[in-house]
Structure 1
Amino acid sequence: MKNIFYSVFVGLFLMVSCQSEPRKIVPEVPLVVSPAKVVAPKKVAADAATILSKKEVPILCYHNIKELKAGDGEMTKTYTVSPANFAQQMKALSDAGYHSILPNQLNDYLVYDVPLPSNPVMITFDDTREEQFSIGAAEMKKYGFKGVFFIMTVSINRPGYMSKEQIKNLSDDGHVVGAHTWDHHMVTKYAGDDWNTQLVKPKAKLEEIIGKPVKDFAYPFGLWNTAAIPEIKKSGYEMAYILSTKRDPVDPLYTIRRIIVSGTWSTEGMMKSIKSSFTKSE
């Protein structure tokens, strides 16, 4: 009898055990350790002496791109390059392996020693002339060149000068738009509210047109003095461009040298001037 009860008990126990839910195996979750945040070292800006010691980048300055008329004076001849000569010059730069650069690249090179493309050159235009857009930018596009267009805002939308739409188009196409004052009065004569009229308001107007910060300024006639530099800084410009005079030893970023491409030069002469004008002499 005991054996019967024992057998029944064991059978019931086994039946209940078989019907019970099997034990769940919980997979082990690996411990994820977040990597420590890597903080990039802060770039150290070069001082003025270091900037002045660096090899200068050739910077070309164009004004008029048009045919000369009978009776045009020597000044007009100097500031005017014919469309055919401009086309030859852009082709010559491309054939010689030059690569156009923009102000942000120049700044990174001078201040942080960031390498530039081989044979760098900057192509700039002053005074807002319409042919700089219709001829200059169109010719540069054939070679993938980008330029810097310095705008005097009083001339916008006037006959013979660029429209707001053309200026915006230049910016949208990858060119840089810089300021060239309101009405081209020389910086060395400014006093009182002139700084606001000639520096602050033109910058704001151009930024409204292109929807981007305007960081570059070109001195009318290339003329500058040390009193102007703090005002240009205060107005929010990062670099300012002169012509071929000596740079300021304290603020070289606000006296970046350029050369005017003369209409009296041959293409060969222009190419030679790029090398001779930017060989260190300071």
Structure 2
Amino acid sequence: MTGRPIPGPRPSTTLGPVLDVRDVTLRFGGLTSLDGVSLRQDRGSVLAVIGPNGAGKTSLFNCLTGAYRPQRGSARFWPADDGVELVGRSPHRVARLGVARTFQNIRLFPEMSAVENVQVGVEVRARPGALRGLLPTRAVRREERETLDRCHELLDFVGLGHRAERPAAALAYGEQRRLEIARALGTSPSLLLLDEPAAGATAAERTDLVTLIHAIAGRGISVLLIEHDIRLVAAVARAIVVLNFGRVIAAGRPDEVRADPAVVEAYLGEPDERRDGP
């Protein structure tokens, strides 16, 4: 499914952090969604954020991508050697810095073809200029061809090359998930945020997703993952951060987190029932 490399320049694999979140606190009126959340992610790694429904996982993603502005805290991001602050930036500016995301509820353009959906992502990084499209110069035509080639290569990478001209609405659910990942990769991110990419997936689709995430990380793209499937998380993530009621209650390697009593109580359930069950 992922025989071809991700097109475009390979992201930097310089050692060091790609993301450093410190004391992020988000409140809605009297409700605290995130309470002093801190985490650190190494460049090129896969970090999973898990926790029960309502723990604040998606709120964290929204803070990192500019959809929400927390009342306190910082999120330092290193697209290259120089770090930048994400908090306070608009979603469009965050995307142009090199942070891309998918959504818990799939957000595609249903009537547009698969390749057109990916093109939306690719053009996030396109050079600005409203008049460029009105002036069909040789350079503009060349850029259009290169953009289309990149879209098809991304579709090949996620296993949807044969679906390029199909409307997004006509794709199977698992294919729509992969299409959303291809569109996110079209922005040439250094950091890819995946919000429950295995939700509703079949066993075979989950296996393909593990392969795809490994392939993405293998290209040096850091992946921050929200997921409820603990076995999938253990298969792809180097480290896990556990949220509960907006607070970090555990962090560490998958085996350490699975054995943490606070995690078992808050999220995994009884060990004998949940760890060894189907």
TM-score, normalisation: structure 1: 0.35
Larger Cα Rg: Structure 1 or Structure 2?
1
